Structure 1
Amino acid sequence: MITVHALQYSRATRVLWLLADLGQPCNRIDYDRTESFGAPDALKQVHPLGKSPVIEDEGEMVAESATILRYLAAKYGDDSHTPPKDTLAYWQHEAMFDYVEASFAEVATQAILPAFSGDPVPDAARTALNRHLDYIADFIGKGPLLFGQDAMLADIQLSYIVALLARLNLLGDHPAISNYWDALQQQSGYIAATQAAGPMAPPA
């Protein structure tokens, strides 16, 4: 059975969501945030950088949520969370899946960190964030999710950052993204993961 090292209010929810979708149980080991919202030292016993999520499978350790999602899809022979491989949509999906952490996360963090501390979001950070949210809204199109009705790996990957932005009221000027977040929260895997391990974003 897969072991998931899951930090509270973290990207680990992505992994639990996919496992729920796949109907696969796991041994979940939870870690609480510190008073400064950091990861506890106990996670450094699991991964040298104290990262979460991390999974263990048959003695092997796998880190990075994107890699873990792909690993689980391959392990369980799942092709329901990507478009068909012989289509352009498949490569559009792969690009969006990698875009989340390769491009969007850094931009979003520049707005999330000050907002989380109760400080004003710098104009440059808000402008950059809005540009990326417009890009995502255009990608969603008719929606409700990135590729229609069903959650793909890219949706699961994007959900964590969108959850933080929603929690910090940074989606107000982007109703399409707010609607997208509403649709994500209605997905059965999201519901199962958050009922089991708590919300993606910390409560107000």
Structure 2
Amino acid sequence: MITVHHLENSRSLRIIWLLEELGLEYEIKHYARDPKTMLAPAALREVHPLGKSPVITDGDTVIAESGTIIEYLVQRYGSRQWQPEPDQDQWLNYRYWLHYAEGSLMPLLVMKLIFRHVGKAPMPFFAKPIAKKISGKVIGTMLDPQLKNNLAMIEQHLATHTWFAGDTPTGADILMSFPLQAASARADLSKLTAIKRFVAQMEARPAYQKAVERAGPLTPMN
């Protein structure tokens, strides 16, 4: 039996979504964030030394990292739909977006989240204006321009692709789901109609809705 060690409001929702798409039996072990720090509880370290989510156990096998989990599930339990073969035209798209999600896009979103909270962090009153100025400069001159360029590239790709690697969803779409939902909360997508369409069609899938029923809705942190 597969167990998903699910941290509330985290990237592990997409793992549950994939399990629903694959029609696999699984159970969820829920973990709550610390209400003050929003960090994962220490109990997750009993599953994996880093104490982060998502983590799954499949029998005695422990698998961490979203990309590794998705590749494991797709290769072991999925059909060809979920992972194009190397001789298929969409194979390179599949591999690119599978690695791009966590390798390029998520770091920008995480850094923006961190710097937005710098000015809100407890500190001596005289330091707060300096912290706000520095964080605002980093966001305005480095993070926002890079995020804009990345979203423009994604928009261009999705304008000619129903899903990231063809006409049907693959593991790449599962992995790209969270950063694009997060981007919806941290960037203006009003003109990025292809990205909005992707998020809408993803969230309309019965398997995704079932995952939300079982795990709870995702509310990306601002």
Q: Normalised by the size of structure 1, how large is the TM-score?
A: 0.89
Query: Map of 1:132-143 to 2, 5 A cutoff?
Result: 132-143=150-161
How far apart are 1:41 and its partner, in Å? 1.1
1:167 aligns with 2:185: yes
Q: Could you tell me the percent identity over the aligned residues?
A: 30
Q: For 1:138-193, what per-residue CA distance to the aligned partner results, in whole angstroms no more than 9, with x for missing partners?
A: 12123432234422111110111111221345434433222221122112221111
> In the alignment, which of 190, 194, 199 is matched to residue 212 of structure 2?
194
Match of 2:124 in 1: none
Task: Tell me the number of residue pairs that the alignment of Structure 1 and Structure 2 aligns.
Answer: 204
Is the Cα contact below 8 Å between 1:116 and 1:168 reproduced in 2?
no
Is the Cα contact below 8 Å between 1:7 and 1:31 reproduced in 2?
yes
Is the Cα contact below 8 Å between 1:111 and 1:122 reproduced in 2?
no
- Structure 2 gaps, min length 5: 121-131
The amino acid that maps onto 2:108 is V
Question: How far, CA to CA, are the matches of 1:202 and 1:134 in structure 2?
Answer: 21
Is the Cα contact below 8 Å between 1:17 and 1:193 reproduced in 2?
yes
Q: Tell which structure's C-alpha radius of gyration is larger.
A: 2
Q: For 1:40-99, what per-residue CA distance to the aligned partner results, in whole angstroms no more than 9, with x for missing partners?
A: 111111111111111111211111111111111122142221234312311221111011
Question: How far, CA to CA, are the matches of 2:40 and 2:7 in structure 1?
Answer: 7
Match of 1:89 in 2: 90
Query: Map of 1:46-57 to 2, 5 A cutoff?
Result: 46-57=47-58
* Cα distance change of structure 1 residues 172 and 98 upon mapping to structure 2, 3 Å threshold: same
The amino acid that maps onto 2:44 is L
Match of 2:169 in 1: 151
Query: Map of 1:171-182 to 2, 5 A cutoff?
Result: 171-182=189-200
1:23 aligns with 2:23: yes
Q: Normalised by the size of structure 2, how large is the TM-score?
A: 0.83
Match of 1:64 in 2: 65
Task: Name which of structure 1's ranges 193-202 and 28-37 shifts more when overlaid on structure 2.
Answer: 193-202
* Cα distance change of structure 1 residues 129 and 202 upon mapping to structure 2, 3 Å threshold: closer
The amino acid that maps onto 2:32 is D
How far apart are 1:111 and its partner, in Å? 2.4
1:4 aligns with 2:4: yes
Question: How far, CA to CA, are the matches of 1:11 and 1:108 in structure 2?
Answer: 13
